[in-house]
Amino acid sequence: MNDSSQSEYSHIIPRFTLRLAIILTTIAAVPWLLATLTAPSGSVYIGAQFSSDDQMVYSAWMYQAMQGQFLFDNRFAIEQQPGLTVHLYFWLLGTVSMLFKGAGAPFALVLVNNLARLVFTFLFVILLGRFVRKLDLPIYVAKTGMILATFGGGLGFMVWEAFGRLTSKQNFVAGMLEQRLPVDIWQPEVFVFSSSLVNGLFMVSLCLILTALTQVWEAQKSWRAVPLGAGAMFLLMNIHSYDVLIIAFTLIAFAVIHLCQKSLDKTWAIRALVIGLGAIPPALWFMNVLQSDQVFQARAATLTYSGTFRQLLCGILPLILLGLVSFQNQDDKSPKRWLAPSGILIVLVGLFLGATGYDPEKSYFLSTDLWGLAFVALVAPLFFAPRDPKWQILAAWGCVGLIIPYFPQLFQRKLAMGLVIPWGFLAAYGFQWLTAQIPMGKTTSEEGIRIRRNVISGVLFVLCCASSVFWFQRELLYIRHNITSTTVQPVFLPSDVNDISRELAKIPGRKVVIARPGIPGRTDENPWAEPYLPDLNPVFSGFAGAYSFAGHWSETPKYDERRYIAEGIFRPLDPAQIDQFLRDSQATHIVQPIPELFPDLPAGDLTQIGRVLYEGRSYRLIEVDRNRLEN
């Protein structure tokens, strides 16, 4: 790049980056602000419309930090725990939440969590612009790639569903996926836009991934890039450890390509390795916690398999098809130029055809041997692709990202984080080449060509980013209908939640709280009906720091069994049987729905099991008389 174009580049990209950061952050703020401003009087905003139960897990860590703790335990399990978990991100947010503690824990935690989400959304785009400048991507590729990486998606808009992962729609996309849904409908961490809407943890993790990769790239110049890169790896291993594997496999593939092409800079490789070593200290602590904490072991063993490869591929398909065009070796004018994209396409078709239904209890979809073969098959064609290092690192990231979510381990799905980013830029490369091949007729001026390309680009953005529009619309619909994606938590909780949280906060010591498990209200005739009975079990762990007996499907050991016990406590059973349920649950407090408000739910008189501490409009808080149970 010559001096004049470099000057133009340094002027355009920062300005474009700032505008994009403002746009994305503003859009990401709208659902939260709308929910906050339209909340019914006295209600409690749960803080998130998507995966609200997961948000309560984060909130429970923040609550502990707000109480001055640095080492956390799992508030969704009643077993004894050593309390060794360190999570620097939620510790920081909880510490900041102390500033707003006077307004009540629910308000403080929701406020700080959402502000952090917006801060890291803005920072992500700034870091993405920095990544683009360091790689020195062509201006058109940089701008188009940033838009596609930020707002891109797949074919989800063609079979959109507000809840669940299956569809009853009948079209060719649903048929290809065996009535399953593409990941751009239900897996936000794959995409930047959906992550910015629903989860600050995903956004800070994406920021750290970009920082680590940028510093690895900068490390080819000097050792000065190493400390920041190592620090990013340290934090990433602590707050979202799975992402370290994404970076590791990407850099391994990138190094192998250069090694085979005899262009690997050994000094650069050593610096990159030192950056990677930054993840070692938190990894060692992670292993210590895993060995010492049985509850953590059970949580780590929770099945989080990826969807089928068809779901993954269709969730990002338009970007992949465009991106494959960029794999051609333009320096070779013979048919061999298409070896790389053809090879990768063959592998993708093979994986697509093989990605039929599977039993996640018994299969990883790919065995270790098959996974290794697929990894090599996706990376090997890069040897015949363009020998441009900045393109190669994006291509290595993109190809690795397609297979690593099927790494034969329990936490597969978490390894798809940020897959849209490399494919957004690869699609921009491919689109740039395609538009250059389109005949422009009599339009030969540079301005005319630019106008036509911009029109075609607009069509591209509509196709690739349509799912993001649906994500935004769904957030607004959740708020409008007062239902979250779990279907058993409303967006706006009853006012009693705030009062009960305050009552629980006054009680010293360990508190095990059981609320009646939630009951969805939605039916096929009315899919947007708000929950008939909200599930408050995770809420009191998140907003009051209580231990829940049956609070979360993955955080609570033997969740299904404990949910059955929790439900039994509230039924009109023999008193001796209820007492046994209470002993098994170790409950110190019960949150009972007022029976008159839920006439369809059979309920017993629980006021006899202890002392009523709070009587609200919808719920009462009962302190269990443990002495009576033990005698």
Res 2: pLDDT: 47
In a domain, 455, yes or no: no
Mean pLDDT in residue range 343-364: 76
Quote the number of domains for the chain.
2
Rounded CA-CA distance 550/584 in Å is: 12
Residues 507 and 476 grouped into a single domain: no
Cα 95 from Cα 89, distance rounded (Å): 10
Residue 623 falls in which region: left (phi positive, over 0), alpha (psi -120 to 50) or beta: beta
Contact 152, 319 (CB under 8 A): yes
Query: Tens digit of pLDDT for each residue in 35-81?
Result: 999 999 999 999 999 999 999 999 999 999 999 999 999 999 999 99
Q: Are residues 513 and 470 in the same domain?
A: no
At residue 321, the pLDDT reads 95
How confident is the model over 353-359, as a mean pLDDT?
A: 66
Q: How many residues does the chain have?
A: 631
- Using CA atoms, how far apart are residues 214 and 127, in angstroms rounded to an integer? 9
Residue 46 lies in a domain: no
- Residues of the chain with pLDDT > 90, as a percent, come to 76
For residues 241 and 208, is the Cβ–Cβ distance under 8 A? no
Is 432 part of a structural domain of the chain?
no
- Whether residue 196 is contained in a domain is answered as yes
Rounded to whole angstroms, the Cα distance separating 132 from 479 reads 36
Task: State which amino acid sits at residue 511.
Answer: K
Asked if residue 524 and residue 422 are part of one domain, the reply reads: no
pLDDT confidence tier of residue 170, bands split at 50, 70 and 90: confident
pLDDT tier at 4 (50, 70, 90 boundaries)? very low
Give the residue carrying structure tokens 């979360």: 552
Is residue 62 domain-resident?
no
Question: Average pLDDT, stretch 367-377?
Answer: 91
Instruction: Give the C-alpha separation, 133 to 10, whole Å.
Output: 8
Instruction: Tell me the mean pLDDT in the region 89-114.
Output: 96
Q: What is the mean pLDDT of residues 216-220?
A: 97
Per-residue pLDDT at 6:
57
Q: Which segment of 26-35, 185-194, 364-373, 465-474 scores lowest on mean pLDDT?
A: 364-373
CA distance linking residue 147 with residue 152, whole number of Å: 7
Cβ neighbours of residue 413 closer than 8 Å, sequence gap 6 or more: 187, 304, 305, 306, 307, 405
Whether residues 471 and 490 fall in one domain: no
Summary mean pLDDT of the chain = 92
495 Cβ contact list (under 8 Å, min separation 6): 42, 43, 44, 616, 617
> Is 519 part of any domain?
yes
Asked if residue 442 is part of any domain, the answer here is no
Three-state DSSP state, 405: helix
Predicted confidence at residue 413, as pLDDT, reads 86
CA 299-303-306 angle, to 5 degrees, is 135
Q: Which of 137-141, 375-379, 441-445 is predicted least confidently?
A: 441-445
Residues 261 and 234 in one domain: yes
Do residues 239 and 299 both lie within one domain?
yes
Residues 355 and 305 in one domain: yes
Domain shared by 385 and 292, yes or no: yes
**pLDDT band per the 50, 70, 90 thresholds, residue 301:** confident
| Residue from 545, 570, 555 nearest 620 by CA | 570
Q: Tell me, what DSSP letter sits at residue 558?
A: T
Cα–Cα distance, 428 to 464 (Å, whole number): 11
- Bridge partners for 515 per DSSP: 591
Confidence band for 443, pLDDT divided at 50, 70 and 90: low
Query: Are 184 and 268 members of one domain?
Result: yes
Q: Is the pLDDT of residue 483 over 90?
A: yes
Grade residue 3 by pLDDT with cuts at 50, 70 and 90. very low
Whether the predicted pLDDT of 548 surpasses 50: yes
Look at residue 477 in the predicted model and tell me its pLDDT.
97
**Predicted pLDDT at 364:** 63
Q: CA–CA distance from 574 to each of 474, 564, 567, 578 (Å)?
A: 44, 16, 14, 6
pLDDT at position 358 is 52
Work out the average pLDDT over 123-149: 96
Q: What is d(CA 143, CA 131) in angstroms, rounded to the nearest whole number?
A: 12
| Residues 230, 130 within the same domain | yes
Q: Is residue 449 in some structural domain?
A: no
Amino acid at 45: Y
Evaluate if residue 5 carries a pLDDT over 70: no
Same-domain check for residues 151 and 286: yes
Instruction: Provide the 8-state DSSP code for 514.
Output: E
Containing domain of residue 502, as a range? 485-630
Q: How far apart are CA 472 and CA 193, in angstroms?
A: 9
